[in-house]
Amino acid sequence: FQNCFQNPHEIIGHKILQRAYEKRNGFANFYAKLNNDEKDDIEEGIKVLLKKTVANINFMDEVQRLAEEFGGKHVKFRSLGFKPEFFGVYADATITECIFLDNAIHPAHQTLNAFSSFITMV
């Protein structure tokens, strides 16, 4: 993982959100209600969560704290239609984008398994 994130794309949060709203209508409805600052905050939060999780991959307590902190920031979006199952949408979109981030350095099945396990852990 760390090789993929040594020089991460600064727009990975945006790419993950874009993939999420393109793939799930319910998420797209929620996303459409966000203002630009809220979208930017979520994008930045995703990027920071990924970077910090990779940096702390051997410290599960810290990874859990980071994931809970990220989740807690979404409580304010319930009134706009955010649902807990949207974290699964984030996870699916993150796995896909991380596979692209790998740039086919590893066989696709290895990359899919690795990032699926990583996201499940988070």
Confidence of residue 110 (pLDDT cuts 50, 70, 90): low
pLDDT, tens digit, 9 for 90 and up, residues 10-23: 788 999 999 999 98
Tally the domains of the chain: 1
Give start and end residues of each alpha helix (H) in 1-122: 2-5, 12-23, 25-32, 36-55, 60-72, 86-101, 108-121
CATH code of the domain in which 79 resides: 1.10.490
pLDDT at 98: 76
Q: State which residues form the domain around 86.
A: 2-121
Q: What is the pTM of this model?
A: 0.79
Is residue 55 classed exposed, middle or buried when 0-12, 13-18 and 19+ CB atoms within 10 A define those classes?
middle
